[in-house]
Amino acid sequence: MNKHWSDHYFQRPDFSHLHICLCDCVSAVQSQWSLRHSSKRVCGLKGSSVVLPCRYYYPWRSESDTYQGGGWYKNQREKFREHSNSNYPDCSLKIENLSEEDSGVYHFKFYTVLHLSWITDTSGVELSITDLQVREDVVEGNQNQTKVTCSSSCSLGSYHQYVWYKNGQRLPDKTTASILLDPTSLSEVGSYSCAVRGYEANRAPAVCVPEKLCWAVKCVSTSVCTLAGTSQDISCTYRYPSDHSIHTTSWEKTREPQVDLQLAEEFHGLSQYQEKTGKVTLKVSNLKESDSGRYVLKMETTQGKVYSGSPGLTVFVTFLQVKMTPDTLIKGEIVTLTCNTTCSLSNNHTFIWYKNGQPLTTKHTTRDHKLQLNPVSSEDSGNYSCAVRGHESLSSTAVFLHVRYKPKNVSVSISASGDMGEGDTVTLTCSSDANPPVHNYTWYMKTGAESLVRGTGESISFNVTSDTSGLYYCQAQNEVGSQTSTEVAVQDGEYSVFFKMMPEFVYPTIRGDRTLLGDNVLCVHIFQNVRGVDDTYMPLQRTAQASVYETLQRRETPQTDMELQDLGMRRQRQM
C-alpha cells in the first residue's frame, strides 16, 4: 500500500455467512467498508478546474451487498453532487470554473444494502481557492538580482507551467513560477504579469518591477463608486526612480490629458492635498454623473519629466433608482423594492425608505438595499423612494406601487322620488372600492331562494310595484375579481322591520321607507305605513287601519347563527 494514501476504516458488521479470503492487500481492502483520499488539502486556481481524489471500497464479492447511493457534501450540510457506482472504486470529484464560493471542506458518503448507515471520512478534503499575484523579492547575498514570483495564497503544486508577460508581451523563455531580473538594468524595467499555462485568461495584475526603477501610483482602491453630490477621500501613494525629484503632482482624466483637474472648472469635484512626499489624497466631492471616468496622477519632476501613473483611479458617479419586482401585482402577493445604483457604493451605507415622502415605519422586511412587502395590501399603494442615511436630500425618484385588488366595501344606496309608494320611482346605486376600477355592475332581486338579474350599470331605476318589491343587491366586478353587496329591501309603501343579531342583544333597524339587512336576519314583519298628522308613526291593522301592538318574545340563544328565529308574537288590539 502506498504510504501517501491514508486509510479510514469503519466498523464492519458480523457477517458469519460470508467467507472472504484475505490473500492480498487489495482483497483485504475490498472486504471492508472504507474511504481514502490521496490528499487532504487541494488548492485550486480561480477560473480553473480541480479534481478532489477519492476511492471507496465495500465487500463487493458478496452478492447480497450492493452499492445503493452516495454523493459529495460540502461543509457537511449542502449536497453538492450525486455519485453513481459506474467507476467503482473511483469517487473523485471534478469541479470546473472555480470561484471563491467553491472553497470549503468536501465529504464523500455512501451506503450499501447491508450497511444502511452512511459511510464517510470525517476529515474530508479541504479545497482552497486562490488567484495570482506578482511579488518582488530581494535575492539575499546578490545585489544584482531581483526575484519576481507568480505567487498564490495556497500551493498549486510543482507540476504547473507558468506564462510570463512583460508590457503585455509574452516571454517565451520564462515558464517557471519565479524569474530573476537585474535591478540595475533599465532594459529590465517593465510591467510584469503571469498566468498558469492553460489558464492564460486568469492573469495576475501587472506590477512594475524592479520597483526602485519604476514610476507607479497605487491607491487604496483602483475604482471608487460614489453617490452624486457626496464626498469621499481616496488615499494614494506614488513611487518614482531614486535619481528624480518630484516638483508637482496633479490629477488628469484620460482622453483629456491637457486638462489640469485642479484648475479646470468642469472637474471642480476633484481636488488633492499633499500629505508628505510619496503620498497624496484625492478628494472626491459634489460630483456629477458626467465626471465618471478614469483618472491618473500626473507627476512632473524638477528636470521637466512628466509621468502619468498607471493604473490610476476609475471614478463611477451614480444616482439612486428604485426597481420594483414584479412591476404589477395583486393584493396578497410579494413585492420587492430595490434601491439600485449603477455601481456598488464603495462604503457601507444604510438605506432609508420613504412612502409618499415620509420615512417608512413598516412591519415589512428591510435588508441592505431591499424592501420586501409580504404580503402586499391595498394600504401599501403609494409613491416609494429611497436614500442613503446621512444624505437624505439625495433621495431617488419615487416610483408608484400599484396594488390591484378586487372590489371591496360594496354597498347599495337608495333614492326615491316620493315616499316610495306604489308608482314612485326608486334609484339604486352601487358603490365600491376597487383597483382597477369596476368595469361591470350587475343587479339582482331575490325571490325566495332564487336571484333574478334586474339590470346592469352603476345605477338602476324602476317604479315601485308589487312585482318590483323585494330584496336587491349588486355585484361589482373588475379584472381581479368580484364582490357582492348586502341586500336592501324595496317595498311598496310599507315599513320593513328587520332584526339583526348583535353580540349582546337583538334590536330592530327601521330606516324610513326602507331597511338595510344585517348579516344575520332574525325575522321580518311588515306593517302598513300610514303617516300621522303630527308626523308620528303607529303600526295599524292593514284593512281596518286600527292600531296594532305586537310583543316580540326573544329567544336568548339562536339554534344557528343564520337561523331565522321563531319569535312568538302576542297580539293585543286596541279598539
On whether residue 180 sits in a domain, the answer given is yes
**435/378 Cα distance (integer angstroms):** 9
Residue 517 host element (H or E): none
The pLDDT of residue 269 is above 70? no
Are residues 222 and 300 both part of a single domain? yes
Which pLDDT belongs to residue 30?
A: 40
Which pLDDT belongs to residue 356?
A: 92
Give phi and psi for 409, each to the nearest 5. 55, 45
The angle formed by the CA atoms of residues 302, 305 and 306, to the nearest 5 degrees, is 115
Which pLDDT belongs to residue 362?
A: 66
On whether residue 121 sits in a domain, the answer given is yes
**What average pLDDT is seen over the chain?**
73
Q: Model-level pTM greater than 0.85?
A: no
Are residues 51 and 34 both part of a single domain? yes
On whether residue 386 sits in a domain, the answer given is yes
Grid cell listed for 489: 329591501
On whether residue 29 sits in a domain, the answer given is yes
The domain that contains 222 carries what CATH number? 2.60.40.10
- DSSP β-bridge partners for residue 399: 384
The pLDDT of residue 3 is above 90? no
Are residues 120 and 226 both part of a single domain? no
**412/484 Cα distance (integer angstroms):** 10
- DSSP β-bridge partners for residue 433: 408
Among residues 381, 401, 421, which one ends one of the domains? 401
Are residues 22 and 117 both part of a single domain? yes
Identify the residue whose cell numbers are 519565479: 178
Lowest mean pLDDT among 57-71, 150-164, 278-292, 425-439: 57-71
Of the chain, the percentage scoring pLDDT greater than 90 comes to 21
Cβ distance 106 to 122 under 8 Å?
A: no
The pLDDT of residue 517 is above 70? no
pLDDT classification of 518: cutoffs 50, 70, 90: very low
The pLDDT of residue 25 is above 70? no
Average of pLDDT values for 484-490?
A: 91
pLDDT classification of 491: cutoffs 50, 70, 90: confident
- Residue 284 C-beta-side C-alpha neighbours within 13 Å: 27
Give phi and psi for 328, each to the nearest 5. -130, 140
Other CB atoms within 10 Å distance of the CB of residue 93: 19
Are residues 431 and 528 both part of a single domain? no
Residue type, 237: T
Cβ distance 165 to 194 under 8 Å?
A: yes
Which pLDDT belongs to residue 280?
A: 78
Nearest to 397 by CA among 317, 324, 498, 500: 324
Of the chain, the percentage scoring pLDDT greater than 70 comes to 70
- DSSP β-bridge partners for residue 430: 412
State how far the alpha carbon of 97 is from the alpha carbons of 62, 92, 232, 450, 555, in Å: 40, 17, 36, 70, 79
Grid cell listed for 464: 315601485
pLDDT classification of 566: cutoffs 50, 70, 90: very low
pLDDT classification of 513: cutoffs 50, 70, 90: very low
State how far the alpha carbon of 521 is from the alpha carbons of 466, 498, 501, 512, 551, in Å: 22, 7, 7, 18, 18
Average of pLDDT values for 468-487?
A: 92
Which pLDDT belongs to residue 68?
A: 74
The pLDDT of residue 490 is above 90? no
On whether residue 488 sits in a domain, the answer given is no
Which pLDDT belongs to residue 445?
A: 93
Average of pLDDT values for 132-151?
A: 86
Are residues 121 and 146 both part of a single domain? no
On whether residue 360 sits in a domain, the answer given is yes
298-340 confidence digits (pLDDT tens): 888 888 878 777 667 888 889 999 998 887 778 888 888 999 9
Which pLDDT belongs to residue 235?
A: 81
**43/55 Cα distance (integer angstroms):** 19
Which pLDDT belongs to residue 253?
A: 80
On whether residue 489 sits in a domain, the answer given is no
Are residues 115 and 22 both part of a single domain? yes
The angle formed by the CA atoms of residues 381, 384 and 385, to the nearest 5 degrees, is 180
Nearest to 270 by CA among 288, 248, 246: 288
**How many domains would you assign to the chain?**
6
The pLDDT of residue 1 is above 50? no
Lowest mean pLDDT among 12-16, 365-369, 381-385: 12-16
What three-state secondary structure class fits 329? strand
Average of pLDDT values for 238-243?
A: 79
* Spacing of C-alpha 463 from chain mean position: 59
Domain containing 228 equals: 216-317
Among residues 401, 430, 459, which one ends one of the domains? 401
Could you tell me what percentage of the chain is helix, strand and coil, using 3-state DSSP and rounding each to the nearest 5?
5, 50, 45
**217/430 Cα distance (integer angstroms):** 75
State how far the alpha carbon of 575 is from the alpha carbons of 174, 183, 441, 539, 552, in Å: 128, 132, 50, 14, 21
On whether residue 1 sits in a domain, the answer given is no
389-398 confidence digits (pLDDT tens): 888 888 999 9
The pLDDT of residue 176 is above 90? yes
Residue 30 host element (H or E): helix 25-30
Are residues 454 and 539 both part of a single domain? no
Cβ distance 283 to 269 under 8 Å?
A: no
Are residues 313 and 397 both part of a single domain? no
Grid cell listed for 211: 520597483
Are residues 222 and 302 both part of a single domain? yes
Are residues 239 and 142 both part of a single domain? no
Which pLDDT belongs to residue 493?
A: 57
Lowest mean pLDDT among 122-136, 215-229, 559-573: 559-573
Among residues 427, 450, 483, which one ends one of the domains? 483
Are residues 293 and 350 both part of a single domain? no
The pLDDT of residue 372 is above 90? no
Give phi and psi for 532, each to the nearest 5. -80, 165
Average of pLDDT values for 369-375?
A: 86
The pLDDT of residue 440 is above 80? yes
pLDDT classification of 127: cutoffs 50, 70, 90: very high
pLDDT classification of 430: cutoffs 50, 70, 90: very high
Cβ distance 498 to 532 under 8 Å?
A: no
**23/7 Cα distance (integer angstroms):** 19
Residue type, 431: S
